[in-house]
Structure 1
């Protein structure tokens, strides 16, 4: 299996000084084909590592599974009986999930920067969640929220070596990190967080905060809602569509979380200032 960090020989150029050969650490990026019951479901670009968490979280986001008992054995398999590259995972699902998987049409390729652009229709994006996040009465202290970006960064081991990864972290309301995952795709990092929770039978993730290293997009609000996460915080801006969806679903969206300040775009009563 490919390691999450790869070394490459480069030329370092410093104007007025010269050119120096050196080695640099790069975040690995490889395709992962997800198959459901042997049938190709989607292909996404990801950083290898925690692949089973990624697949499980992805299926939660797609509305294919919502409980641990709906997810059956996952295994790496070799495409066309060739040598196993650990870039193909086949998973079994039961109950309604099998029907949902069969009805979800995706294009062959989904980039690491977009989790929903592979869907054939934008109407299929607003997947109905099995959990009602609007009813979550969680309260989070403003000081805890403001500190989460730094706490997330402290857990980013691969980012420290490469500078090229997004991160997503699930935190308790006291700021305790529950799980942190990294990936070249911000949506993949979130899927890895959600997938780990699903595999440990912890959905819905009531009373938690999802902190992400980038912006708050429509897809991340959707993924939070599908996992039952009531609060999504980002270091950058949310999109208008993300705020609209969060308002509709009852997700608290926090943006521009930097230093000691941030903006609350929806459900501000959950933030104790």
Structure 2
């Protein structure tokens, strides 16, 4: 598309690319359960990752088929067929998905509710701070759509050697995480409990919840965490890293999984 760009002196008409954004309706057994705004692409990963992190499915064999509905020409409706033996509380699910975020629950109650579905992580993996410092640049280099548009978030999984396992981009941070988790689930490489999740932007409670559902022990973000994300990580056994950039980081929870060359005690 053509845009008008001003450089402080002259306005010029120039070609530019913007990120595509479309609604995706997710259905289970033909029943709508969620509508999310997303960047089209890897829709089955997104839908399956969403169902996993909502606690609807647990095993690869729970998913029988993921298909776009024939009655939607834009490809914005996706139906997930699951094993009939999997019990789905559609009333609870749709009420939760479509409800306002101002649900009236305090943070502690929200954390306790998640822990009823997903137990805290138990993991003895250890990675070096030097290795972690290399991951944001590796993620950035793999963000092909961001390189063209500058308007996408990313989530990436790395193995303990720092090699990229998978990366997904989306206009929503949570969608990108769901896509990564869903991809590993559909590949049969689940849970990714020997991996590191790196996200662009900040880390929120929702991202930590999704990582816990996938049993990911280390989550790193290039920006700040929220207070509830920190509290959740500490109670969930997750190592949480923020401001991972320019060879710096803050560790907010469970630093025992990170190996530092040296550690000095904080001065009063």
CA distance in 2, matches of 1:34, 1:149: 31
- Residues 45 and 204 (structure 1 numbering): CA distance in 2 closer, same or farther, change over 3 Å? same
Structure 2 gap ranges (5+): 261-268
CA RMSD of aligned residues (A): 2.2
Give the C-alpha shift of residue 97 in structure 1: 4.2
Residue of structure 1 equivalent to 2:156: 169
CA distance in 2, matches of 1:252, 1:207: 13
Give the C-alpha shift of residue 134 in structure 1: 2.6
Structure 2 residue matching 1:182: 3-state secondary structure: strand
Indicate which of 186, 192, 199 corresponds to 1:199: 186
Residue of structure 2 equivalent to 1:242: 229
Aligned residues: 256
Residue of structure 1 equivalent to 2:254: 267
41-50 vs 18-27, which deviates more? Answer: 18-27
Give the C-alpha shift of residue 21 in structure 1: 1.2
- Residues 103 and 94 (structure 1 numbering): CA distance in 2 closer, same or farther, change over 3 Å? farther
Q: What is the TM-score normalised by the length of structure 1?
A: 0.87
Q: What is the TM-score normalised by the length of structure 2?
A: 0.88
Residue of structure 1 equivalent to 2:69: 77
CA distance in 2, matches of 1:129, 1:148: 32
Indicate which of 40, 45, 49 corresponds to 1:57: 49
* Correspondence list, 1:1-273, <5 A: 8-16=1-9, 18-78=10-70, 81=71, 83-94=72-83, 97-106=86-95, 126-128=113-115, 132=119, 134-273=121-260
Structure 1 gap ranges (5+): 1-7, 110-115
CA distance in 2, matches of 1:96, 1:73: 15
CA distance in 2, matches of 1:11, 1:174: 45
Give the C-alpha shift of residue 264 in structure 1: 0.8
